[in-house]
Structure 1
Amino acid sequence: MPHPNQTFTELESRWHTERWPHLAKRQLTYNDIEPALDALAANEQLAHTVIGSSYLGTPIRRLSLGQGPMVVLAWTQMHGNESTATAAVLDWLQLLLNEQPTDLPADWQELVTLHVIPMLNPDGAAAGTRETAQGIDMNRDALAQQTPEGRLLWQQVQTLKPSVAFNLHDQNPYYAAGEGGDPATIAFLAPAYHPDKHVDGARLRAKQLIAHMRQVLSHWLPNGIGRYDDTYSQRSFGDAIAGTGASTILIESGEHRDDPSRQVARRLNVMALQAGLAALLSGVYQDYSLADYYAIPDNVSDGFVDIRIRNLTIDDGEHPPYQVDVCLNRDPDHQQSYLLEFVGDSTGQQGLEEVSGTGLKWQQLPQLGAVANSLLAHVREQLSQR
């Protein structure tokens, strides 16, 4: 169904034809994005800067568009295994360069300077790890700044002095948008800059912008948008950058059913970023209240598992049989394998895939943490014979 706002109908259609097709995968490395970076940098509208390098020497690049007084800074992949928004920001720049979206004023580049750092942790990206090559979680390095990548980010903030900052991440697949909600395909946060969680003008603007972005995305995700807890974290860059007076917005890309490479979240990141940019320039975000922000459901951890088998009978032939729910999650180290996550009453959780085990049996006592491929294969075989 088309979006009620014609601008987003057009933008979504353009995304499908103009996105970078080779970036349609779950894990991106610097080698993956370098051709897109080079192609974008060749456009005379866009300024390209190598701002430094990673611990292992890979370039860290910034792409800039516009020359206006309002500064917007977006960065991605400070966690190396969180690639979704990296593809999204490169798509977004491509769309902005190819054709001006209809929701932006003709002179928007005279009003805004947009800076994008598409991959802040290329070493972690190459290794497929959250941490940098030093083994440090960069997003817990805002105080000590022991990583060259973290120091670069802080230098950019101090030099550019952004009015609005987009901190773009991926979250694990198991978050739910509220108790019993859909998978949280997108989650937002306007981070606190002090333990008392005070809301100054900049943080109010961040919350209003989020409320607007949520409203735009709700067409595609009526029950799939969550809101993170805003407990202050002094070691985290989002909180530290909020403390500089920037309206700081965390966007976390999450799971969507039947979308293992997170292309739904990729597309919706583009829509959210465009909605935020347009709202800044039009002032429409001011129509939203704090109540609109807090109406976004909590981002509930462990609301989902990969596969939930309900009412499976366990009967090892030696002990009394019993009926339980069995929950399986993918082995993070071997994506083709599943581990036994939970046995018992799974009320309050949902499966990204739901399987009815009623009338089915498993002839072994389950062991938590064990590889469950044979259990799953046995259940599927029984189902196929019905």
Structure 2
Amino acid sequence: MNHPNQTFAELEQRWQTTHWPNLNKRQLVYADIRPVLDELAATTALAHKVIGTSYLGTPIRRFTLGQGPLVVLAWTQMHGNESTATAAVLDWLKLLSQHCPADLPDDWQDLMTLHVIPMLNPDGAAAGTRETAQGIDMNRDALAQQTPEGRLLWQQVQQLKPTVAFNLHDQNPYYAAGEGGDPATIAFLAPAYHPDKHVDGPRLRAKQLIAHMRQILSHWLPQGIGRYDDTYSQRSFGDAIAGTGASTILIESGEHRHDPNRQVARKLNVMALQAGLSALLSGVYQDYGLADYYAIPDNVSDGFVDVKMTNLTIDDGEHPSYQVDVCLNRCNASPSYVIEFVGDSRGQQGLEEIDGSGVKWQQLPQLGAVADTLLAFVRQQVTPR
């Protein structure tokens, strides 16, 4: 079903035909995006420059569109293994450079300047790690600034003085949008800039913009949008940047069923960013209040597991048999599964759920044990041949 807002119905169609197909990967590295960066630089009106390098010397580039007084800054992959939004911002830049969406005035580039830094942590991306090559979590480096990548981000914030800042991440696949909700495919946060979580004008604007973005995305995700916890973290860049007076918005890309490369979250990042951009220019965000922001369900950790098997009979042939639920999660980036939980799993959901009624397993389950053989056996038993 098309989006009821014609602008976003058209934007979704345009995204389907113009997004970068080579970026349909769970993990992106600099070699994946370099051809895209080069093509954007060579074939569009986007201004571009190398603004610095990573610890290991990989260039970090910034793309700019517009020259207006409202300044928007977005950055991705501060954590190297969180690459969904990198594909999304490159899609977004392509869309904006090729066509003026209907929700923007023709002169929008005279009203606003958009800066995008894709892949702030290319070393971590190459290693498939959250941390930089120095072993440092860059998002805990806002105070010490021990990483060149963190120093570079702070320099950009000080130089550009953004009106709105988009801090784009991935979250683990096990968050739920509220208790018993769907997987949190998108989660938002307007981070606090002080332990008392005071809401000043810029933070209020961030919450209003989020409420509008949530309203636009609810067509695709009526039950799959969460609100991230706003506990203040003085070492984190989102909180520190909110303290500069920028309306700072965290977007976390999460899991969607049967979507291993998070392409649903990728598309919805584009839609959310565009909704925020247009709302900032039109002022429509002012139609929302704090109640609309807090109406977004909590982003609930551990609401999901990868696989939930219910009513499985355990009978090792030596001890009394019993019936139990067994939950499995993937082991980091490995394709293997390990046993996460044994017992009564009511209240927890599985991205894949299997009714194991009538299936008998002849080994006692052990937490943390590799469970690939168990999973293959149960699937074989419940799946018609």
TM-score w.r.t. the length of structure 2 is 0.99
Q: What amino acid is aligned across from residue 250 of structure 1 in structure 2?
A: L
Quote the Cα distance in structure 2 between the aligned partners of 1:43 and 1:374.
51
Q: CA deviation at 1:115?
A: 0.1
State the partner residue of 2:194.
194
1:90-111 Cα shifts (integer Å, max 9, x gaps): 0000000111000000100000
Quote the Cα distance in structure 2 between the aligned partners of 1:45 and 1:333.
38
State the partner residue of 1:328.
328
Change (3 A) 1:135 1:91: same
State the partner residue of 1:380.
379
Quote the Cα distance in structure 1 between the aligned partners of 2:92 and 2:25.
17
State the partner residue of 2:268.
268
Quote the Cα distance in structure 2 between the aligned partners of 1:28 and 1:173.
17
State the partner residue of 1:129.
129
Is the 2:44–2:97 Cα contact (8 Å) retained in structure 1? no
Q: What amino acid is aligned across from residue 373 of structure 1 in structure 2?
A: D
State the partner residue of 1:315.
315
Change (3 A) 1:298 1:341: same
State the partner residue of 1:250.
250
SS at structure 1 position matched to 2:369? coil
- 1:2 and 2:2 equivalent? yes
State the partner residue of 1:224.
224
Is the 2:217–2:272 Cα contact (8 Å) retained in structure 1? yes
State the partner residue of 2:87.
87
State the partner residue of 1:116.
116
Q: CA deviation at 1:333?
A: 4.0
- 1:359 and 2:362 equivalent? no
- 1:24 and 2:24 equivalent? yes
1:210-229 Cα shifts (integer Å, max 9, x gaps): 00000000000000000011
Q: CA deviation at 1:255?
A: 0.2
Q: CA deviation at 1:39?
A: 1.0
Q: CA deviation at 1:313?
A: 0.9
State the partner residue of 1:42.
42
Q: What amino acid is aligned across from residue 254 of structure 1 in structure 2?
A: G
SS at structure 1 position matched to 2:72? strand
Q: CA deviation at 1:44?
A: 5.2
SS at structure 1 position matched to 2:293? helix
Quote the Cα distance in structure 2 between the aligned partners of 1:237 and 1:99.
32
Q: CA deviation at 1:43?
A: 3.9
State the partner residue of 2:370.
371
Quote the Cα distance in structure 1 between the aligned partners of 2:229 and 2:129.
24
Q: What amino acid is aligned across from residue 19 of structure 1 in structure 2?
A: H
1:2-61 Cα shifts (integer Å, max 9, x gaps): 000000000000001100110010100111101111111124521111110000000000
Number of aligned pairs?
385
1:310-345 Cα shifts (integer Å, max 9, x gaps): 11111111111111110011111422x111110001
State the partner residue of 2:340.
341
Q: CA deviation at 1:384?
A: 3.3
Quote the Cα distance in structure 1 between the aligned partners of 2:236 and 2:263.
27
Q: CA RMSD in A?
A: 0.8
Change (3 A) 1:333 1:278: closer
Q: CA deviation at 1:385?
A: 5.7
Q: What amino acid is aligned across from residue 383 of structure 2 in structure 1?
A: S
SS at structure 2 position matched to 1:226? strand
1:222-276 Cα shifts (integer Å, max 9, x gaps): 0000001100000000000000000000000000000000000000000000000
State the partner residue of 1:14.
14
SS at structure 1 position matched to 2:50? strand
Identity across matched positions, percent: 83
SS at structure 1 position matched to 2:204? helix
Matches within 5 A, 1:85-234: 85-234=85-234
TM-score w.r.t. the length of structure 1 is 0.99
Quote the Cα distance in structure 2 between the aligned partners of 1:230 and 1:44.
38
Unpaired runs of 5+ residues, structure 1, are none
Change (3 A) 1:331 1:360: same
